[in-house]
Amino acid sequence: MINRQEIVHRLYANVVRTEAEDTTAASIKAFDKDDKEVALDSSAIDAEFAKQDYQNKRVYPSLDSQLDQLYWDKKNSTNKWVEAIDKVKSDNPKP
């Protein structure tokens, strides 16, 4: 799952450690290798998080279920697995 602290590490190469009181960008404190606080732009963090949040929303069936569906699709000449995966992707598109 993508979270705002992970986004901070992607946006700020000098950040080695983060702390947060909650899940909002404004609550995140970031520190460099010398343990000095790094100034963060919470609006930039929120904007990048919004671009990546589709990954959190894309919930696929378990691999066991997918393999079982692939088996039955092959056996019955159907495309239900492809349709199910396409639905998840279309319901949660990349920005």
Radius of gyration of the chain (CA): 19
Instruction: Determine the 3-state secondary structure of 64 from DSSP.
Output: helix
pLDDT digits (tens, 9 = 90+) for 23-48: 899 999 999 999 999 999 999 999 99
Angle between the N-to-C axes of helices 42-52 and 4-11, in degrees from 0 to 180, rounded to the nearest 10: 110
Instruction: Determine the 3-state secondary structure of 55 from DSSP.
Output: helix
pTM: 0.65
> Which pLDDT does position 95 carry in this prediction?
79
